[in-house]
Each structure stands twice: as structure tokens, then as C-alpha cells.
Amino acid sequence: MELHLSLMFDRLPEIAAAFDRRERIVVFPGDCLEFLRGIPDETFQLVVTSPPYNLGKEYEKRIHLEHYVEQQREVIRECVRVTKATGSVCWEVGNYVDNGAIVPLDALLFPIFQDLKLRCRNRIVWHFEHGLHCTRRFSGRYESILWFTKSEDYFFDLDPVRVPQKYPGKKHFKGPRAGQYSCNPLGKNPGDVWIIPNVKSNHVEKTEHPCQFPVELIERLVLTLTREDDWVLDPFLGTGTSIIAALRHDRRGAGAETHSRYVEIARSRIHQALQGTLPVRPMNRPVFNPRDAGRALTTAPWLKQGELNGVLALGEKQTHYGAKK
């Protein structure tokens, strides 16, 4: 469903540049630590972000890994301080790569959250199909989201993100509920492996930023971990995706971004989201399969008709299954 947020307001809400609880949208053009230090304790229901990975991308300077971890520690400490007692912190990261050797950043950063006494609820694997083709190791096709809560008393609502059951018609065959449907009619838990396309050149949400979140990835977290009108924070805002995901579900959104061009893009995308004109890939749309769609070039010319095209990757569908004999 495409939301038309403009219909909800008499006039479009302003995008403020400084934090105030009475605002709905805040984009701070500057360093996240400076922004965070001005925010009262326990303000945000959800902090969700993808920090720089120290890879030397156009928006970051590569620094010694120990120094990087210390910088992250400072930001994480502030993020935990501004998170509500019932709230969550979600840190989305991939690998740091040094001369072909990888360091999984979630493993490196996990102890920081543990030292701050946060509880890890899930390590969500975000699987996607597109990226660099490696020649001396397997190509990286996932990143992870570490989801932490500040206490045992945390908000979590599974219903808005349930997915269809595989066998909805299945019934209990014995016991007191024999004959009744065995599954939840609202759908099943989506699990902790999420197959969602990453934002590469053909994606409708692509901007000039090299590593945007897909909106649908953050929508899932917003829907399960916050209520309407709650505040969502992204300290490394980039193109504004986390705020957009929050606004699409009637939450408030705030973030900081140092790079002025990305601040401009974030503001423009937020305006488009409010007017209902931002192109967004809808949540739960199945991943495009060129073979099923009958696209050209999907059959290897060197295979005989009916022969399968090698090993299938996770999330790819085999077109035929042998009938049981």
C-alpha cells in the first residue's frame, strides 16, 4: 500500500534542523555526537542505523581499526543513553576488509553493547543478491542487524510483519485441538533471515549514495519495535531512509548526517515521502526472478534443454522438483 502522508496533515510538517520533542521530523546537518549530546535521556523508542564501515568510501576516512571501534563506542554509548527503557537499538553492519581479509564488524562491536548491559534479541541476517564478485573468497551476499533491547520489558509487536504460512490449511490431527487449523491465521514469524534486495542501480529507490538502506528493511523494524507517534533515530542518516520508514507508519523521525549533499538528498526524499511521490519498493514483494519472468539470457546456451543451470543460491527457486516415485 502506498501511503499518502500529505492527506494526514493540513499542511506538510516542517523538517527541523534541531531536536525538539514537539517536532515530527528532524535532520541535523552535522556530526552525530554533537547532535546526540543535546538530546535528553530516554527519548527514542528505536535507534536504527548503519554506520560507516571504515572502508574508505567517499563519506569516510579509513582509520586504524582500534580507533574506529573507540569512535563507535562513543556513539553507541550516547545512543543507548537516549533510548527509552522499553526501546531497542539496531546496528546494521557488514565486513571491514583489509587486503582481502575480512573482519565481521558485528563481532567487533558486539562487546560494546554487552559492556553497556544491553540484551541481544536477534542477529538478523539480511541476504541480498547483488554486489562485488570476489575471485579469492566467496562473494559477500549478506550483512547483519544486531538487535538489542535496553531491558527485559521491551516493546515487540510481531503481527504487522507476519508473512504467509507455507501450509495454511494444515490442522491439528490429535489432542484437544484436533481438526482445528494449527497455524496463526495472521501469518507466521518472518524469522531472522530476511531476503530483501539491496539498493543497486536498478532499484527504484537508488540515489547517488553508495550504500542506502532499502526502505522495506527499516519498515519491518519500525513496525515491530515502535508504536504510532514514537520517535525513531538514525545517527548516520545518509539519504534519510530511516526517517522515511518511520513517517510511512506515523512515527516521528530524527537523524544526523555530516555530508551536505546527502543532507540535501535526505530532505528532498522526506518531502517526496510526505507528498506520496517517493518511489518505494513495497514490503513483502517477492524478489524478482528473471527466469520465472521469462526474461531473455536466463538459459545457458551450452546446456541441453531441461538441464538445470548449476547450483542454486539461497532464495532462488528451483523450477521443477522430481515427482516422488
Ligand X SMILES: C[S@@+](CC[C@H](N)C(=O)[O-])C[C@H]1O[C@@H](n2cnc3c(N)ncnc32)[C@H](O)[C@@H]1O
Task: Report d(CA 160, CA 94) in Å as an integer.
Answer: 27
CA distance 278 to 41: 33
| Residue 236 and residue 51 in contact, taking contact as beta carbons nearer than 8 Å | yes
Nearer Cβ to ligand X (128/236): 236
Size of the site for ligand X (CB under 6 A): 19
* Ranges within 55-84 binding ligand X (CB under 6 A): 59-60
Nearer to ligand X, 256 or 270 (CB): 256
Question: Please, what is the minimum distance in Å from the beta carbon of residue 287 to ligand X?
Answer: 19
For residue 246, the minimal CB distance to ligand X (Å) is 12
Query: Nearest to residue 235, comparing CAs of 65, 30, 63?
Result: 30
257 in contact with ligand X (CB under 6 A) = yes
Minimum distance of ligand X from residue 243's CB (angstroms): 10
Which among 2-10, 11-19, 52-60, 106-114 is the span making contact with ligand X, rule CB under 6 A? 52-60
Binding flag, residue 54, ligand X (CB under 6 A): no
DSSP state of 72: H
Site for ligand X (CB under 6 A): which residue of 83, 88, 95, 241? 241
In angstroms, the CA 148 to CA 101 distance is 28
The residue within the footprint of ligand X, chosen from 259, 261, 271, 281 (CB under 6 A), is 259
Among 46, 147, 236, 280, binds ligand X (CB under 6 A): 236
Indicate which single residue of 87, 94, 197, 238 sits in contact with ligand X (rule: CB under 6 A): 238
DSSP 302: T
**CA atoms of 85 and 36, how far apart (whole Å):** 17
- Interface residue with ligand X among 110, 211, 250, 284 (CB under 6 A) is 211
| C-alpha to C-alpha distances, 76 to 43, 243, 271, nearest whole angstrom | 15, 19, 29
Residue 212 lies near ligand X (rule: CB under 6 A): yes
258 binds ligand X (CB under 6 A): yes
CB nearer to ligand X: give 63 or 308: 63
In three-state secondary structure terms, 309 is: coil
108 near ligand X, rule: CB under 6 A = no
Rama region for 65: left / alpha / beta (φ>0; ψ in -120 to 50; rest): alpha
Largest interatomic CA distance in the chain: 69
> Can residue 144 be called a binding residue for ligand X (CB under 6 A)?
no
Q: Does 31 bind ligand X (CB under 6 A)?
A: yes
Among 45, 213, 220, 226, binds ligand X (CB under 6 A): 213
Task: Determine, following the binding rule CB under 6 A, whether residue 239 of this chain makes contact with ligand X.
Answer: yes
Q: Return phi, psi of residue 125, to 5°.
A: -95, 120
Q: What is the DSSP string of 134-197?
A: -SSSPPP-EEEEEEEESSSS-----GGG-B--S-TT-B--SSTTTTSB-S-TT-B---SEEE--
Write down the least CB distance from residue 182 to ligand X, Å.
Answer: 39
Residues that bind ligand X (CB under 6 A): 31-32, 50, 52, 59-60, 209, 211-213, 236, 238-239, 241, 256-259, 262
